[in-house]
Amino acid sequence: MNDLLTGKNVIITGAARGIGRTVLELFVRSGANVWACARKPDTGFEEEIKTLADAHGVWIEPVYFDLSDEAAVKEGIQRIIREKKQTDVLVNNAGIAYGGSFTMTSMSKLREVFQINYFAQIQIMQLVLRNMMKQKSGCIINMASVGGIETAPGYLAYGSSKAALIYATKTASHEVGQYGIRVNAIAPGLVETEMGSYKSDDEIEKILERSSLHRKASPEEIANCALFLASDRSSFITGQTLIADGGRICV
């Protein structure tokens, strides 16, 4: 337990599993209250977050919306804003992986990946930022990927959606810095989650071979990056992409 986020109210998307779930647990252990956003209602998840909240003396509220549904995203975030609580931190974490060669990626698939990995993230940022601008404080963390920095064959949709998110992070940081709001991104390499096993074993082996640490990250290692960026320990850092990839060597 640390007190890096004591009293802070945090929105986390994709909070039910993977990196988002680990961010939720670490942030709660650091004193944060959380709006835990997930795609679908789940009583098991609700029981688990209630136990977690009670154990740490904070509140965790489930909020459900599908990122592919613009109206549902708006309703979900507006529901949070209507509570009229301070919105201190947004962790825009949810996302999907997609592999497909340049010429074989259909326009509809490209749109689907961009809807979830980019348009929905921008929509959430816009809604939350308007509130943060009124507050004159706030912090946004976008979960990008080294896939948005390195170019790799076969990842047109995923890579360009994450590259766009990194651009949005920088441009938003320029516009809202005057309101005391920081906007940063994290670019993980391979992480031990379901998504981290999306590539073939061969591809994973090659990536790990040419990285300095020769292993995937644990979700905790990525959650620790988010904790640093969400806390006042990073109070002079904005517009940055924190690369946490175990020292991947671009080829």
Ligand X SMILES: NC(=O)c1ccc[n+]([C@@H]2O[C@H](COP(=O)([O-])OP(=O)(O)OC[C@H]3O[C@@H](n4cnc5c(N)ncnc54)[C@H](OP(=O)(O)O)[C@@H]3O)[C@@H](O)[C@H]2O)c1
Catalytic annotation on 158? yes
220's CB contacts (< 8 A; 6+ apart) are: 22, 26
Q: Which of 14, 62, 159, 246 binds ligand X (CB under 6 A)?
A: 14
Q: Which of 95, 138, 159, 246 binds ligand X (CB under 6 A)?
A: 95
131's CB contacts (< 8 A; 6+ apart) are: 81, 87, 138
196 binds ligand X (CB under 6 A): yes
Residue nearest ligand X (C-beta atom): 18
74 binds ligand X (CB under 6 A): no
Alpha-carbon separation of residue 40 from 44, 65, 190, 198, 203 (angstroms): 12, 7, 26, 22, 32
| Catalytic residue (choose from 98, 158, 179, 198) | 158
Strands 33-38 and 9-13: parallel
Q: Which of 39, 74, 85, 109 binds ligand X (CB under 6 A)?
A: 39
66 binds ligand X (CB under 6 A): yes
Alpha-carbon separation of residue 119 from 10, 87, 112, 138 (angstroms): 21, 21, 10, 21
Minimum distance from residue 11 beta carbon to ligand X (Å): 13
The number of angstroms, rounded, from the C-alpha of 217 to the middle of its chain's C-alpha atoms is 16
190 binds ligand X (CB under 6 A): yes
Active-site residues, by number, are: 158
Residues found near ligand X in the complex (CB under 6 A) = 14, 16-20, 38-40, 66-68, 93-96, 116, 143, 145, 188, 190-191, 193-196
